[in-house]
Copies of this chain bind each other. A is one copy, B any other.
Amino acid sequence: MSKHLVEIVVIEDEEDILELLEYHLSKAGYAVTGFLSTDRVEQFLEEESPALMIVDRNLPGVEGSDFVAYLRELGYSTPVIFLTAKDQEEDLVEGFRAGGDDYMTKPFSYKELLMRIEALLRRSGALSNDKVKYRDMLLEPRQQRLTIAGTPIELSRLEFKLLLTFVKNPKQVLDRDFLRDEVWGDNTPDFNEKTINVAINRLKKKIDPTGDKDYIVPVRGIGYKLS
């Protein structure tokens, strides 16, 4: 979809499993890059900086854990989840010693994998912990980022602040005075009547260009509300 999404690298030599992983991760909204071996991965890391790597232990040529240990040696600290059929304790220990963050044995639940991915992304700071969702809109105040149905939308600071106050007070009619205080600040003298109109207008054009989503609707004589 887009480069704004969280990027995950999967290294897995069994092609059908790799495809299944790619399918599940893409569906969950991640940008996935798959590798059948470690051959091109180092080169890839020189150019991109994925948020997480899922690495099979059994890879052609190299042990997955040796490869991760090598990356750690180089200085990469990308979070790693090992996937493996090996469930012996010493294999697991080897994985963690190599610098892995988590370890799952096959067969595993995809739901659980997704949960562990999310937890690790949260911990490593790749995901913002404060998110506000409303319908298909996802706002991340710290990053000042908005995605609608997965598509990133660029908003200016004012526009974001405005949308955020609506999302924080959903379904309520926000009168013009409230919006002025909340978004522009209460110390603003000679505040132009139409400033709000124009700001709302610009916001609407960005979050709903076709105008059929009806996020923000006017309430005549009072203000606006998010429906």
Interface residues of A (CB under 8 A from B): 45-49, 51, 72, 74-77, 79, 89, 92-93, 96-97, 99-102, 109, 111-112, 115-116, 118-120, 122-127, 129, 131-136, 138-139, 142-144, 149, 156-157, 169-173, 219-222, 227
Contacts and interface: CB of A to CB of B under 8 A. Distances in A.
A135 B172 contact: no
Number of chain copies forming the complex: 2
Contacts of A76: 133
Contacts of A89: 109, 111-112
B172 A220 contact: no
A156 B96 CA distance: 33
Nearest to A45: B135
Contacts of A46: 135-136, 149
A199 to B, nearest CB: 15
A93 B74 CA distance: 34
A111 B135 contact: no
Contact of A96 (B115, B133, B143): B115
A219 to B, nearest CB: 7
A92 B112 contact: yes
